[in-house]
Amino acid sequence: MPRSRKVVVTQRFFDDSTQAYLRANGCEVEIASLPEGKADGDLSHEALVELLAGAGGWIVGHARVTRQLLEALPDLQIVSRRGVGFERVDLEAARALGRVVTIAAGGNDASVADHVIGLMLAVARRFRESQQRMIDGDWSILMGSDLCEKTVGVVGLGRIGKSVVRRLAGFDCKVLVHTNRPDPDYALATGVEFVDLPDLLARSDYVTLHAPLTPRTRFMIDERAIQGMKASAILINTARGGLVEDQHLLSALREGRLAGAGLDVFVSESDPSYGAVSQALLGQPNVVCTPHAGASSREGLNRTNLIAARSVVAVLDGDNPPPECVVADGRPAH
């Protein structure tokens, strides 16, 4: 039976050149029309089944990919994430049902790393507070803090973490790294120091998170971790919302036990019961927030679009996507 070459995209900002690439490789491209203000993660199981009926490839954002959904879509060969997280995909079910799941490895490293540096500077130099005062007619100067020559703790050393380390070199920072796989050669080449998490938290002026969300890392920054940080420290989270216990972070910020935070991700993205906590964080003058937008530069999205599309074409052609992109492959060995 011929393999379906219908590719459904349930993401906004899917550029024309990547659509042209898919069509040039024999794919029929269908861009989903999402409700205003909604993402594919807001779509019901039934809506996804209707959208994806007959599709061989799916370029997905944050929708939950469950066993029930995969079973309802027998033509679907590949689920290609335009991003690098895959915690919303049932990988075990994908393997059992003979499907392929890929991520857009390497596409958004630079965009997210730039975003991290931007949040560090915005919080430390009090951009939000200064602008609001000026809007209110108060042009007095608020004293901020430098990033230059400070100690920065990087938690997790994947592609994005390493991109952040490269950028910090330009600020003459002392970089501490916590990871499960310390690399002496990397330390020698870059000057970073590998340390355990309590040591990193105690010594860092800035802490930036780049770890995956797993049962082990969930709420790794909680009340106990925050107590081990400097009161003058700034926390940056552009990785996953569940890495930080947002209620504990909010309390620390309100009580002056942390100087500030730059947040691109929130627990409430996956747990609506934290909605009020997210709103309270948004209202804190020493917090700068963005709506999970770290990867969303024009250039970054174009790169991840193309990487995701190339994985789709490879699978529909019966080939293998780049190994760094594959997180599950249930196809029989071929």
Catalytic residues: 240, 269, 292
CA distances from 29 to 7, 34, 62, 313 (A): 5, 15, 19, 12
Return the residue matching tokens 């991003």: 83
From start to end of the chain, where are the E strands?
A: 6-9, 28-31, 57-60, 78-81, 100-102, 151-155, 174-178, 193-194, 206-209, 234-237, 260-263, 287-289, 326-329
Listing DSSP states for 135-163 in one string gives HTT--PPPP----TT-EEEEE--SHHHHH
Q: How far apart are the first and last CA of the chain?
A: 17
